[in-house]
Chain A
Amino acid sequence: MIRGIFRHPKNELEGEIKWNRTPGPSVPEEMCVTCPSCRKMLFRDALAENSDVCPRCGWHFQISARRRVALIADEGTFQERDADIASRNLLGFPGYDEKLRRARRTESGSDEVVCGTCRIGGCPCCLFAMEPAFMMGSMGTAVGEKITRLFEFAEKSRLPVVGFTASGGARMQEGILALMQMAKTSGAVRRHSDAGLLYVAVLTNPTTGGVTASFAMEADIILAEPGALIGFAGPRVIEQTMRQKLPQGFQSAEFLLEKGFVDRISNRKTQKALLSRLLEFHAGCTK
């Protein structure tokens, strides 16, 4: 054993100036993040450069709607629509005003879903991305209205729609009005489809509840990010109701692909190339 055999020299610290920096060495909180899947510690800068995908295990981190748009839309082509539509406490639900205020104070600001037009790989299209950080991406009247309007605009302008879903379902604080958005958005998707136009949905983690039961699953082509949780009710609720053990990987994107609910798993890093190929193929658009 080599340890403990050497003595420590009694040399005084050289020079007079002591290196006295306060505070001492520490990790700034925003510098690192732990991958929830493989537990590896990752640096935020490096993670952002890798499209927020864990370089070790491929876990797709949740990203904001704005960042999603920046990753997918060709630079400088995104033009937002209906940015001024925001949720209100229509039913006078207790505590909802405060919840909205708190949600707007976070990083996401007042984004619930970001809608607009852009080009992807040179192909013009309508784009929407839901904000997972705003009250778990839940769908209230504002979200429903914005998505409906986007589909109506796309139908009028004869544009395809690309949509990124991330949602915990219909917003409970808006009750029946939130549930109504399922029918409303579905109607708009149907009219857009009847006009012979393409709709591609990309289901991201998590896509659940009323959103799954409406416009998320109504696309012509349904893509999903690896490992995303996709379902209507959560696995715990189902297990308790059915009193049955659920199969492994239940409600994961891969499970849904196997059962035919999803057309393809799409890695975030190659997503833009895939989407532009799909758009180009269906629109016959020339770059």
Chain B
Amino acid sequence: MFSKILIANRGEIAVRVIRACREMGISTVAVYSEADRDALHVGLADECYCIGPARAKDSYLNMSAVLSAAIVSGAQAIHPGYGFLSENAEFARLCAKCGIAFIGPSPEVLARMGDKDEAKRTMKAASVPVISGSGLVENLSQAKQAAEKIGYPLLMKARAGGGGRGIRLIRSEREFDKAFFQASEEANNAFGDGGMYLEKYMTGVKHIEVQVLCDSFGHVVCLGERDCSMQRKNQKIMEESPSPGVSSQEREKLFQICEHAMRTIGYTGAGTVEFLMDRDGKFYFMEMNTRLQVEHPVTEMVTGVDLVKWQIRIAAGLPLDFTAKDVPVRGHAIECRINAENPKEHFRPGGGKVTMLHLPGGPSVRFDTALYPDYFIPPFYDSLIGKLIVHARTREEAVRKMQAALCELVIEGVAHNGDFLLELLQDDAFQSGRYTTSCLAERGCL
């Protein structure tokens, strides 16, 4: 086992990883930007190093600074959390060169799954159903030909894409030319790669993802699915496991597909395979996230498996000591993302000082956050400030528990989306479990 790990992240996820390390007896090294001097993860870690100015580009994304901190502190491994460097194949390669273990899959797998077009092709070859679409399109005329074949509406996506950039929804041929050049230009600016591909646009679908855990001995365990269909502008806001829209047969089939795919690509560590499920219960592969996810606690609550600890153990070369049968999904868990944004002002993100803080508690209520009273939320980073997760025997009970817990949450001084989440919980679409990715857009909640 590693005796010291550097956490190359901030906020609640850095705190989450540090907590796992403290339980495992591993020393922790935090890195922070100048804006994060007083952040909770800095206080919780055994050692800390400032790695640059507030802007993420100069600090949390600064590979040489993060590596320097690891070397100076003598950390044997780096946990990248989610976002920032977590899916950066180049960074994983540099870690290997410096003799530091990167807690995640190999650089080759990172690169292959990071190229969205190649990921689709790889999955197709592993007999995973994918959304119908084109391969890379070289120019406008070729793209148009491909579009004719797929049919409108369709999505144009950047192969290097991420975070919703380089994506355009095209409803008819009239919009095609403009969208093609705009999206390609945007992708080129954001990722230095203007490669585009087309995909059928599916509406009224569910976003279902499968959590997998694979060790380096070829063991693969699927830890249930998560339903992340409650989305606003392609951003998940509520997640639950198990999904109310997936039958047990469909579930079994889905897990088989995932297990086979993970073996084929030789995946190691924790990962998530994302699918769209149409009204007929058919699944289509969308993309794979080669890292820990924001919504991982939902799976932890229903399976009792600590995903972060297992990520670390797998990276240290230990085998999984359980199979899917040993960790059946028990009960129902729901997560709400608490964001520092104001729903009354078009969800404008904000920051500020937390003047009063009360966190919900009680049995099977979990709140992952890096907030503390008098903490000042810096404006430079993601607006996620906390995750409220509840677990209960049935879905109905979980929804009740979540409502009670949300009402108990008090964060004064900072505008957040707590009330908006409460409204959503009471909505018929959510209560019935039949909500889809387009349900908020249809209600005009944009």
Collect the chain B residues with CB atoms within 8 Å of residue A14's CB. Answer: 1, 23-26
Listed A/B pairs (20) with beta-carbon separation below 8 Å: A6-B44, A9-B22, A9-B23, A9-B25, A11-B25, A13-B1, A13-B3, A14-B1, A14-B23, A15-B1, A15-B316, A21-B99, A24-B99, A25-B74, A25-B99, A25-B100, A26-B98, A27-B67, A28-B98, A31-B94
Collect the chain A residues with CB atoms within 8 Å of residue B44's CB. Answer: 6
Tell me the complex Cα distance, A46–B74, Å: 25
Collect the chain B residues with CB atoms within 8 Å of residue A5's CB. Answer: 43
With CB as the reference atom, state the residue of chain A lying closest to B74. A24
Of the candidates A19, A23, A24, A43, which one forms a contact with B64 in the assembled complex, judged by CB atoms under 8 Å apart? A43
Of the candidates A2, A15, A27, A42, which one forms a contact with B372 in the assembled complex, judged by CB atoms under 8 Å apart? A2
Q: Which of B46, B100, B313, B317 gathers most chain A CB within 10 Å? A: B100
B100 contacts A13, C-beta separation under 8 Å: no
Question: Which A24-57 residues have a C-beta within 8 angstroms of B?
Answer: 24-28, 31-32, 41-43, 45-46
Tell me the complex Cα distance, A8–B18, Å: 12
Of the candidates B22, B99, B313, which one forms a contact with A26 in the assembled complex, judged by CB atoms under 8 Å apart? B99
Tell me the complex Cα distance, A18–B76, Å: 11
Collect the chain A residues with CB atoms within 8 Å of residue B74's CB. Answer: 24-25
Say how far A100's CB is from chain B's closest CB, in angstroms: 35
| A interface residues (Cβ-Cβ under 8 A, vs B) | 1-6, 8-9, 11-15, 17-19, 21, 23-28, 31-32, 41-43, 45-46
A19 contacts B39, C-beta separation under 8 Å: no
A41 contacts B98, C-beta separation under 8 Å: no
With CB as the reference atom, state the residue of chain A lying closest to B18. A6
Tell me the complex Cα distance, A71–B100, Å: 33
Of the candidates A13, A18, A25, A31, which one forms a contact with B70 in the assembled complex, judged by CB atoms under 8 Å apart? A25
Collect the chain B residues with CB atoms within 8 Å of residue A27's CB. Answer: 67-68, 71, 98
A18 contacts B98, C-beta separation under 8 Å: no
Collect the chain A residues with CB atoms within 8 Å of residue B372's CB. Answer: 2
Collect the chain A residues with CB atoms within 8 Å of residue B67's CB. Answer: 27
| B interface residues (Cβ-Cβ under 8 A, vs A) | 1-3, 22-26, 38-40, 42-44, 46, 48, 63-64, 67-68, 70-71, 74-77, 90, 94, 97-101, 313, 316-318, 372
Tell me the complex Cα distance, A86–B48, Å: 56
Say how far A92's CB is from chain B's closest CB, in angstroms: 48
Tell me the complex Cα distance, A3–B372, Å: 13
B75 contacts A41, C-beta separation under 8 Å: no
Say how far A205's CB is from chain B's closest CB, in angstroms: 24
Collect the chain B residues with CB atoms within 8 Å of residue A45's CB. Answer: 90
Of the candidates A13, A41, A43, which one forms a contact with B26 in the assembled complex, judged by CB atoms under 8 Å apart? A13
Say how far B436's CB is from chain A's closest CB, in angstroms: 42
Collect the chain B residues with CB atoms within 8 Å of residue A26's CB. Answer: 71, 98-99
Collect the chain B residues with CB atoms within 8 Å of residue A6's CB. Answer: 43-44
A25 contacts B76, C-beta separation under 8 Å: yes
Say how far B8's CB is from chain A's closest CB, in angstroms: 14
Collect the chain A residues with CB atoms within 8 Å of residue B23's CB. Answer: 9, 11, 14
Say how far A120's CB is from chain B's closest CB, in angstroms: 24
With CB as the reference atom, state the residue of chain B lying closest to A9. B22
Say how far A32's CB is from chain B's closest CB, in angstroms: 7
Tell me the complex Cα distance, A24–B100, Å: 8
Collect the chain B residues with CB atoms within 8 Å of residue A32's CB. Answer: 64
Tell me the complex Cα distance, A66–B24, Å: 53
Say how far B345's CB is from chain A's closest CB, in angstroms: 30
Collect the chain B residues with CB atoms within 8 Å of residue A17's CB. Answer: 1, 316-318
Collect the chain A residues with CB atoms within 8 Å of residue B316's CB. Answer: 15, 17, 19
With CB as the reference atom, state the residue of chain B lying closest to A27. B98
A23 contacts B43, C-beta separation under 8 Å: no
With CB as the reference atom, state the residue of chain B lying closest to A31. B97
B40 contacts A2, C-beta separation under 8 Å: yes
Tell me the complex Cα distance, A180–B395, Å: 92
Tell me the complex Cα distance, A45–B98, Å: 14
With CB as the reference atom, state the residue of chain A lying closest to B90. A46
Collect the chain A residues with CB atoms within 8 Å of residue B1's CB. Answer: 13-15, 17-19
Tell me the complex Cα distance, A25–B74, Å: 6
A8 contacts B42, C-beta separation under 8 Å: no
Q: Which of A13, A14, A41, A46 gathers most chain B CB within 10 Å? A: A14
B3 contacts A11, C-beta separation under 8 Å: no
With CB as the reference atom, state the residue of chain A lying closest to B40. A2
Collect the chain B residues with CB atoms within 8 Å of residue A46's CB. Answer: 90
Tell me the complex Cα distance, A45–B107, Å: 15
Question: Do A13 and B24 contact each other (CB < 8 Å), given the known contacts A3-B43, A26-B99?
Answer: yes
Say how far B31's CB is from chain A's closest CB, in angstroms: 14
- 14 additional contacts, CB 8 Å, given A9-B25, A14-B23, A28-B98? A3-B42, A3-B48, A11-B22, A11-B24, A12-B25, A13-B1, A13-B3, A15-B316, A25-B71, A25-B76, A25-B100, A27-B67, A41-B68, A46-B90
Say how far B223's CB is from chain A's closest CB, in angstroms: 21
With CB as the reference atom, state the residue of chain A lying closest to B76. A19
Collect the chain B residues with CB atoms within 8 Å of residue A28's CB. Answer: 97-98
Tell me the complex Cα distance, A8–B28, Å: 11
Of the candidates A19, A23, A43, which one forms a contact with B3 in the assembled complex, judged by CB atoms under 8 Å apart? A19
Tell me the complex Cα distance, A192–B389, Å: 79
Give 8 closest A-B pairs by Cβ, nearest first: A2-B43, A11-B25, A13-B25, A14-B24, A41-B64, A15-B1, A25-B100, A19-B2
Tell me the complex Cα distance, A3–B38, Å: 8
Tell me the complex Cα distance, A42–B64, Å: 8
